[in-house]
Structure 1
Amino acid sequence: MRLDPRLWGKERGLDRPYPVGCHSIDTAVVLEVLWERYLSARQRRMLAEGWGLSEEQARLLHVWLGFLHDLAKISPVFQQQEPGADEVSGTAGYPVTVERTPYHDHGVHLVLPELLHRIHGLPLDGRPARLIAEQLGQILGGHHGRYGESLSHRDGSLTCPIVAAPGLGGEGWDEQREALVRLAGELFGVPVWPTRRAQAPVAAVTTGLVSLADWLVSQVWWLKARQRQHRKSRWVAGDWAGHLLMARQAAVRVPARAQLLAPTWRATRSFAGMFPGLSDPYPLQASIEREFPGLVNGPGMLLATAAPGDGKTEIALFAERVLGQASGTSGLAMLLPTMATTDAMHRRLVRHAGHNCRGKAPVARLHSLAWLDADYTPEDLTPSLDSPALVSEWLRGAHRGLLTGIAIGTWDQAVRAVLPHKYMAMRWLGL
């Protein structure tokens, strides 16, 4: 059974529907690029260890999850929601349904475990909260911001998802979902499956990475560019290998366009080198400069208590670079108590990044009224040669600010990463 190219995955803002198979490939190849160019070495190692895999095995697992995140769009409840895009409902093998649920995010949570069991032998016996297949389904179900409750043997949702949710569709719908899973193996290879469930922090980063790849390739400019490539190359619908080649060529430029590349800091270990005009550090600064680097051999925390005017901001930025280098991270987040202090410090941090970073590093400002500052959200978003790089409109969207390399905001922007808050996984990934 081959994947039907008439099944659509995207249509908003487009002249014609975009196949779900193409969207699946797009998400997978951008996730490949994010793995190599967005994640730090420390994050890749954390994900691999968290899933009990090698880094290469973990990379392929995440590529698969990106590919399958919209698996439940292959269902009558989704395909029928846009009659102008639906070319299959009611045709041979695709019965229509009056069921209006589940949404495709909960739908992939329902169908993925049973398909992984059927096709790749992942076990479904035992407590659901201990099953790898169930956790992978729950992670993909969270790609729209909220995780669903664990599936159950009692109501059949774990082993008979079509019975539990008729809106998913049987007959040809189920065959096509299986075809998408098998296509992932044909195009990318079959992953080594984890032997243990990931802990919550690792699962959240995995969710955030899948969601980020999905967001990037759901932009109208990306979809229209791929459709232009189809016309130019006379792409034949269903030539998934041909689309994979085109998408891979385009994907390498996506992180830079989205301003997701980490800042590159100039090497310095002195206050005078980091802060122009600070040729004579205060005593506390001089002590930190002299003693602190020799005490650091990995992640840690420095607590500096001093009177106002003793240069604690410079101490924080100096210590951050020492700790960041020792920890294998290059990003910077500064979190403050109020919007007013954040606005004032944003200007200082922009100057700091301009002096200490190679190239122009955008500095995201994170609080609910940041858009009111015309300097931060100008009508003309074209960076000039004389100004720091502006933060793109896409990166200023909801839940995205912490994804950039340098961010400053109110403290609650980080707190939401550890609360049951919508898209908390995106904030956790950014942090």
Structure 2
Amino acid sequence: MRLTSPMDSEGSPLPWPGGLSAAARAVWAKHDHDSDGWLPLWRHMADSAAVAERLWDEWVPDQVRRLVSAELPGDADDARRLATWLAAVHDIGKATPAFACQVEGLADRMRSEGLEMPLQKQIPDRRLAPHGLAGQLLLQEWLIERHGWPKPATLQLSVVVGGHHGIPPTQAQIHELTRHRSLLRTRGSDDAWRSVQHDLLDAAAQACGIPGRLNPWRDVKLPQPVQALLTAVVIMADWIASNPELFPYFPGERGSGPERIDAAWQGLNLPRPWAADEPDAEPGAHFAARFDLPTDARIRPVQEAAVAAARDMAAPGLMVLEAPMGEGKTEAALAVAEVFAARSGAGGCFIALPTMATGNAMFPRLLEWLGHLPDTRAGTGAHSVFLAHSKAALNEDFAELMRAGRRSLAGIDRDGGADTWQPRTDAQAASAELVAHHWLRGRKKGMLSSFAVGTIDQLLFAGLKSRHLALRHLALAGKVVVIDEAHAYDTYMNAYLDRVLSWLGAYRVPVVVLSATLPSRRRRELAQAYAGARDDDTGFAGVQAAQAYPLITAVAPGGLPGVSAPEASGRGTAVHVERLDDDLERLSRRLETELEDGGCVLVVRNTVRRVVETAAHLRKRFGDEQVTVAHARFLDPDRADNDAGLLAEYGSPDYVAKHGGTRPRRRIVVASQVAEQSLDVDFDLLVSDLAPIDLLLQRMGRLHRHRRGADQDGRPPRLRRARCLITGVDWDAPVPEADRGSRRVYRTYPLLRSAAALEPYLARTDGTGNALHLPEDISPLVQRAYGDEEIGPPEWGEAMEKARADHEKHQAEQHAKADAFLLNPQARPGRALVGWVEAGVGDADDTRRGKAQVRDTEETLEVLVVQRRSDGRLATVPWLSPDRQGRARGGLELPTDTVPDHRSARIVAACGLRLPPEFSNARTLDRAIAELEEQCVPAWQSKDAYWLAGELILVLDEECRSRLAGFELRYTRSDGLEVHRAE
């Protein structure tokens, strides 16, 4: 039975609006000031319930439905009824004087039916009765007075109504409204108001078939995760039912039949969730089919073991997969996700990565995998896909999907600005199996798409007290979550990650965590957080004690973990590690010797300043063409081109051949940390600043990564033995001292522990020392560096202890800072979500400033870069590469008296640049913003300037220079942004 049917389950006419009094029919819910159209409350209640029913049946993943159903005596039928009923009653608080007085004409209509109320200006304290909170109190009263519920039992359901605008009420707000009952019913017409409110609630109960279920539900104690999911479903139903293009307003009672919801649902065209089938093919054949491997290719033992472990688990849960760099962990995670989704009923997958750049690199890999899924190939309908970071609209792959998902709907809800999309052609609609759905966009809704790739921030936001947090939880509760590069997060971020994992475990969300260099203590913390175990739970001791590598750790929600040790793939590299004094001239001479017969060298520095200084010095000896630079301080399109160039020249032999690239005979790449993760590049020699051991090992993963001939004889003779030269340190000091920039980035203690762990392997240029074997030595080195035992020479002891104390103090400060807005753990079942996000941050914001909510970072400033020509006109910077259609992007003239055309404005918006730490100081930041605002182009700030309004524009002169807040800025395509204090 659908709620849009003219008959209820007992064959009686539905009470929408039949059976309602004239006064109840007069209560209004929506009003359009422009057209004077309006929507009665009963109609919006019916629309919302019908939408919730469709969402529950056709969009909510099985994984979510099962979780809610398990808590109710009537199982799946109860869950469906409860969700639709709560959506039906969510706006009952609009049947109050505090709300109804806002539109005088509609208020007069209600007064004529006996519902007396003062004028709006006569109710100064109406702010105490927002309609969500008012509805919560009215629903509680109805359950108590009409159905005999004890007051505590009413809260776990009524709080869904109270929180449907994104923030559940607090105890203080409830108490204050309780003291101002006249806001709910006007004195002198109390009975009339009460009769109307109960009329509407009775009608909703009858329409949703719940009168016979209220007694069994009275004794239910809903866990907080279930309350959050029901709240999110109600929010979605309300947003959809509030869209006047889907559900038109009207002055009377026309348009109330089943065709109303049918037309709206068809117009919305919300894609169904993923319905995964567990693969039954032999693992090798399965990987070949999903990832376009050659038919004779053999999958890695780690990949096969991961799938087997997923199948052996009693229930889908957390899997931590530790394996060397280049072992195909991402492909393993996607294969495991299929198994987990089929068994749990997950309706999608989210892949979380450390940075925007790594997210962009992963997105096409996700699309390729989706293109090989059986239900995609079978044409069963489009899957919704989302790229979850603040610049997703500038990503070409995602932009193509957005074009495929365009529709002629405007103003879907109040989530950001109203977007208007052109309708798709029939050809587009027929061919689009993967779309960025028009409704599933924006910072609050995008993650509700079935498949998403994004930064780790999107996951951490689920642990942040923020508005509409329930929607973020619903978005994750229906998916398999993959967390890549799990070692890359600091104490502050890990506090959020652990809290999110505890909620994901409560939601029974399958999670796959990937890392090549995970400390054993961190492995245990992840498992305990997901399982909801205490820190002193001895059942998890084995997780931390496990020494094997590769290693798979698996734990079901609420269960005990198990560990298994897959075979190694047999791929291995012996890396000879040497000390190298931190002297640029000595580095130049050493590289000249090493590159006598050619070769490709990667030099990794810990700060951009050192990258630029090193590259400038090396160019004096090797020439500009032999030295290239890669770091994060490039324009976004330049950085993307840099990454593509690295892959085209230093990628695997197959990749280079496939993309028409050529490996240089002799080249030096000087890079920052951008080279240490998510880039499949291969160099003959590595030079690296000292870094924490896990990151240093990641960098070593770019050394001799691929086989080049038998015994690496495809490499120059001098470089057939893998070597890593460790620099950035004063090795002659009594205790090795890293350079100031490295200490600022990583702090002293992790650097000292890294040096101590490497001490047995380090050699001077005489070649003495032990070879470091990858992957066998990865885990022992990581555990040694991050363990508690004392390491390093005795004479380092005092310095090590001082650094440790400073490090522990810093970690404690990070924990305390994270706690400020960290979501509380789940309370006992039955405890309502009242005050759930109290003292929160407001909206979780996916911007540079917003990321500071879940990252312990300084606020940074981002600008869009253009160039001023000698004639005074503005243009895009001249060197930008053409777009995918071969159209020029560089040197496009930009008007200053009007808004640039859509394409030009989008190109400017893509030329984002993050200013360096010199601009993070509050005083300098304010000065820079003030100076940039003075240079703004007024025409670009109009409401029509979608891409440019509100953005700060940095204008470079003809020589690509500028002055800002007391600094000289210079940008070059070869080196990116350089900043120097002005004379």
Contact 1:109/1:140 (8 A) holds in 2: yes
In structure 2, distance between residues paired with 1:286 and 1:313: 9
Matches within 5 A, 1:9-408: 9-12=29-32, 15=35, 16-83=37-104, 85-88=106-109, 90-91=111-112, 93-97=114-118, 98-99=122-123, 100-101=126-127, 102-124=129-151, 131-150=152-171, 161=178, 164-170=180-186, 171=189, 172-191=192-211, 192-193=213-214, 194=217, 195-224=219-248, 237=253, 243=256, 245-250=258-263, 253=266, 257-259=269-271, 261-265=272-276, 268=279, 269=281, 270-279=286-295, 280-284=297-301, 287-288=304-305, 291-292=308-309, 294-356=311-373, 357-358=375-376, 359=379, 360-373=382-395, 375-377=397-399, 380=403, 381=406, 382=424, 383=428, 388-408=433-453
1:41 positional shift: 3.3
Aligned residue number for residue 7 of structure 1: 27
In structure 1, distance between residues paired with 2:70 and 2:326: 44
Aligned residue number for residue 471 of structure 2: 426
Contact 2:307/2:332 (8 A) holds in 1: no
Contact 1:296/1:322 (8 A) holds in 2: no
Among all aligned residue pairs of Structure 1 and Structure 2, give the percentage whose two residues are the same amino acid. Answer: 28
For 1:214, the aligned partner's letter is: D
> Cα distance 1:419–1:165, how it changes in 2: closer, same or farther (>3 A)?
farther
In structure 2, distance between residues paired with 1:21 and 1:281: 62
For 1:11, the aligned partner's letter is: H
> Cα distance 1:278–1:307, how it changes in 2: closer, same or farther (>3 A)?
farther
Which moves more between the two structures, 334-343 or 306-315?
A: 306-315
Say what the alpha-carbon RMSD is for the aligned residues: 2.9
In structure 1, distance between residues paired with 2:260 and 2:163: 25
1:122 positional shift: 1.7
Aligned residue number for residue 677 of structure 2: none
In structure 2, distance between residues paired with 1:392 and 1:176: 39
Contact 2:287/2:293 (8 A) holds in 1: no
* Other structure's SS at 1:5 match: helix
In structure 2, distance between residues paired with 1:271 and 1:149: 51
**Deviation string for 1:284-343 (max 9, x for gaps)?**
355337734542342123322223322111111111111221222231111111111112
1:40 positional shift: 3.1
Contact 1:302/1:319 (8 A) holds in 2: no
**Deviation string for 1:153-191 (max 9, x for gaps)?**
9x596xxx4x53422233233322111111113323334
In structure 2, distance between residues paired with 1:299 and 1:258: 27
So what's the TM-score if we normalise by structure 2? Answer: 0.39
In structure 2, distance between residues paired with 1:384 and 1:61: 35
* Other structure's SS at 1:10 match: strand
Which is higher, the Rg of structure 1 or of structure 2? 2
> Cα distance 1:429–1:13, how it changes in 2: closer, same or farther (>3 A)?
farther
For 1:71, the aligned partner's letter is: I
1:90 positional shift: 4.4
For 1:220, the aligned partner's letter is: P
> Cα distance 1:137–1:116, how it changes in 2: closer, same or farther (>3 A)?
same
* Other structure's SS at 1:355 match: coil
Aligned residue number for residue 504 of structure 2: none
> Cα distance 1:210–1:286, how it changes in 2: closer, same or farther (>3 A)?
closer
For 1:173, the aligned partner's letter is: W
Contact 2:49/2:84 (8 A) holds in 1: yes
In structure 2, distance between residues paired with 1:330 and 1:189: 28
Contact 2:311/2:339 (8 A) holds in 1: no
* Other structure's SS at 2:371 match: helix
In structure 2, distance between residues paired with 1:346 and 1:21: 44
* Other structure's SS at 1:122 match: coil
> Cα distance 1:287–1:57, how it changes in 2: closer, same or farther (>3 A)?
closer
In structure 2, distance between residues paired with 1:41 and 1:264: 9
In structure 2, distance between residues paired with 1:430 and 1:267: 22
> Cα distance 1:135–1:243, how it changes in 2: closer, same or farther (>3 A)?
same
* Other structure's SS at 1:363 match: strand
1:51 positional shift: 3.9
> Cα distance 1:186–1:398, how it changes in 2: closer, same or farther (>3 A)?
same
The aligned length equals 407
1:384 positional shift: 6.0
Contact 1:354/1:361 (8 A) holds in 2: no
> Cα distance 1:152–1:13, how it changes in 2: closer, same or farther (>3 A)?
closer
Aligned residue number for residue 233 of structure 1: none
1:278 positional shift: 4.7
1:277 positional shift: 3.1
Aligned residue number for residue 128 of structure 1: none
Aligned residue number for residue 459 of structure 2: 414
1:144 positional shift: 0.5
Which one has the bigger strand percentage? Answer: 2
* Other structure's SS at 1:243 match: coil
* Other structure's SS at 2:454 match: strand
**Deviation string for 1:28-83 (max 9, x for gaps)?**
11111222222333422321222444321232222211110000111222222234
For 2:132, the aligned partner's letter is: D
Which moves more between the two structures, 353-362 or 315-324?
A: 353-362
- Stretches of structure 1 lacking an aligned partner (at least 5 in a row): 125-130, 231-235
1:274 positional shift: 1.1
**Deviation string for 1:71-119 (max 9, x for gaps)?**
0111222222234554435435222232222111111122210122222
Which moves more between the two structures, 178-187 or 141-150?
A: 178-187
- Stretches of structure 2 lacking an aligned partner (at least 5 in a row): 1-19, 407-423, 477-983
In structure 2, distance between residues paired with 1:384 and 1:206: 32
1:221 positional shift: 1.6
1:149 positional shift: 2.1
For 2:226, the aligned partner's letter is: V
1:248 positional shift: 4.9
Larger RCO: Structure 1 or Structure 2 (Cα < 8 Å, ≥ 6 residues apart)? 1
* Other structure's SS at 2:24 match: coil
